[in-house]
C-alpha cells in the first residue's frame, strides 16, 4: 500500500499536469469507488470545476476544485485514497477505459468553457485499481474525511515533545500505535519498521514505557526516514507503484535473513498485530 512518501511523490508528479485544468466530465466505471456522494451526484457536482491545487494529508491525495467563474462557492475537495492497488495517471486526450480503470476524469485546457478549445478533452486523469479497495470522496467539508487523522510527521506540530506526551497518553505497543492513522498520519508497514529500527526500538515496546531520549530518537528516525524516502521518490513494490527506489535502501523491511546494516545480525520477521514485522534482534531489544 502506498504510504506517505509514495503519495507525496504522486502529488509532486501530478501537480504540474493538473493545476488549472477543468473537469469536463467524469466516467465512473465502478460505482463503489466513489465513497461519497452517490456516483450520480459525483458526476453532476464535479462537472465544470477547475483544479486549483494538488496536495496530500496522510495517505490521502487532495485535489482542490473551484468553479471557473470564481463564484463565492466553497471550494470542493476531491480526496483519493489509493489503498492496496490504486494508481493515478494523466494520459493524453480522451481515452478508452482499460479493464481496471474505475474512474476517468476528462480534462480540458482550463480555458473558458465558451471557446471550442475549452470544450475539448486534452487529457484524462485515470484512477486504475485492480483490487477495488481504493476510494474517492467529493466534499465541501474535507474534515468529514480527514478530521480524525493525527498530525503530519513532517509538519511543525509533530515535535519530539508532542510524541513523548502522546506515547504516554496511550498504553499500546509501538508498531500498531504508529500504524494507527488517528495517532500519526502517513506511516504504514514499511516506514514504521524502518523508523523503529533506526530508533533502536522493539515494535512490541509499550508506548508509555518509552523514555524522553527514546521518543527523541523515534521522532528523528521517522523524519529522517520519510525525508530520505521522498527524496528517492518512495518505494516501488507490488508492481503497482513505480518509479521510486527507496526499496534498494531498506534497513529491515523485506530483508529477512539478511545482515542488519548496523551490526550484521540477521534480520528476523515477526508478526505484530497481524502485520509482518522486520527487526534486528540485536539492535531492537524487547
Binding site for Zn ion (CB under 5 A): 260, 262-263, 265, 280, 282-283
> What is the torsional sign of CA 157, 159, 162, 168?
positive
C-alpha separations of 61 from 55, 95, 232 in Å: 6, 23, 19
- Does the active-site annotation cover 245? no
Q: What share of the chain is helix, strand, coil (3-state, %, to 5)?
A: 30, 25, 45
Of residues 49 and 251, the one with the C-beta less far from Zn ion? 251
- The nearest distance, CB 173 to Zn ion, in angstroms, is 20
Shortest distance, position 260 Cβ to Zn ion, whole Å? 3
2 in catalytic set: yes
- Of 43, 119, 269, 275, catalytic: 275
What is the number of alpha carbons within 13 Å of residue 269 lying toward its C-beta? 11
Give the Å distances, CA to CA, from 75 to 53, 62, 118, 222, 234: 11, 12, 21, 33, 30
Report the nearest approach of Zn ion to the CB of residue 27 (Å). Answer: 51
DSSP-assigned letters across all residues of 100-160: TEEEEEEEE-SS-TTSTGGGS--EEEEEEETTS--EEEEES-THHHHTT----TTSTT--H
User: Least distance to Zn ion from the beta carbon of 284, Å?
Assistant: 7
Nearer to Zn ion, 115 or 282 (CB): 282
Catalytic-residue membership of 72: no
Question: Among residues 2, 151, 176, 203, which one is catalytic?
Answer: 2
Catalytic residue among 3, 6, 8, 194: 3
Phi and psi angles of residue 206, each rounded to the nearest 5 degrees, phi first:
-75, 135
Of 49, 59, 135, 251, catalytic: 59
Between residues 59 and 251, which has the closer beta carbon with respect to Zn ion? 251
**Cβ closest to Zn ion, residue 7 vs residue 280:** 280
Nearer to Zn ion, 82 or 199 (CB): 199
Sorted by sequence, the CB contacts under 8 Å of residue 56 that are 6+ apart come out as 4, 7, 8, 11, 62
Shortest Å, Cβ 283 to Zn ion: 3
Cell of 219: 521522532
3 is catalytic: yes
**Choice between 1 and 260, CB closer to Zn ion:** 260
Reading the block at residue 7, the C-alpha cell is 503519495
Look at the chain and count its residues.
286
282 phi, psi to nearest 5 deg = -90, -45
Instruction: Report the nearest approach of Zn ion to the CB of residue 219 (Å).
Output: 20
Query: Which one-letter DSSP state was computed for residue 70?
Result: -
Active site residues: 2-3, 59, 275
Amino acid at each position: 500500500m502506498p504510504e506517505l512518501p509514495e503519495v507525496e511523490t504522486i502529488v509532486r508528479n501530478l501537480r504540474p499536469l493538473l493545476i488549472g485544468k477543468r473537469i469536463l466530465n467524469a466516467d465512473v466505471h465502478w460505482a463503489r469507488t466513489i465513497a461519497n456522494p452517490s456516483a450520480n451526484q459525483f458526476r453532476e457536482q464535479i462537472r465544470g470545476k477547475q483544479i486549483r491545487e494538488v496536495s496530500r494529508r496522510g495517505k490521502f491525495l487532495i485535489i482542490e476544485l473551484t468553479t471557473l467563474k470564481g463564484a463565492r462557492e466553497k471550494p470542493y475537495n476531491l480526496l483519493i485514497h489509493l489503498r492496496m492497488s490504486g494508481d493515478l495517471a494523466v494520459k493524453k486526450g480522451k481515452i478508452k477505459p482499460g479493464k481496471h480503470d474505475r474512474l476517468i476524469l476528462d480534462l480540458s485546457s482550463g480555458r473558458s468553457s465558451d471557446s471550442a478549445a475549452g470544450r475539448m478533452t486534452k487529457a484524462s486523469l485515470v484512477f486504475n485499481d485492480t483490487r477495488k479497495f481504493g476510494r474517492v470522496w467529493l466534499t465541501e467539508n474535507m474534515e468529514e474525511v480527514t478530521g480524525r487523522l493525527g498530525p503530519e510527521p513532517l509538519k511543525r506540530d509533530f515535535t519530539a515533545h508532542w510524541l513523548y506526551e502522546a506515547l504516554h497518553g496511550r498504553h499500546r505497543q509501538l508498531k500498531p500505535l504508529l500504524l494507527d492513522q488517528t495517532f500519526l498520519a502517513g506511516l504504514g508497514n514499511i516506514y514504521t519498521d524502518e523508523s523503529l529500527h533506526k530508533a533502536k526500538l522493539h515494535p512490541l515496546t509499550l508506548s508509555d514505557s518509552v523514555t524522553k531520549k527514546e521518543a527523541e530518537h523515534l521522532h528523528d528516525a521517522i523524519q529522517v526516514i520519510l525525508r530520505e524516502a521522498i527524496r528517492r521518490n518512495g518505494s516501488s513494490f507490488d508492481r503497482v507503484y513505480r518509479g521510486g527506489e527507496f526499496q534498494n535502501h531498506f534497513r529491515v523491511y523485506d530483508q529477512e535473513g539478511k545482515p542488519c546494516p548496523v551490526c550484521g545480525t540477521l534480520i528476523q520477521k515477526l508478526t505484530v498485530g497481524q502485520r509482518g514485522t522486520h527487526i534486528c534482534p540485536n539492535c531492537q531489544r524487547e
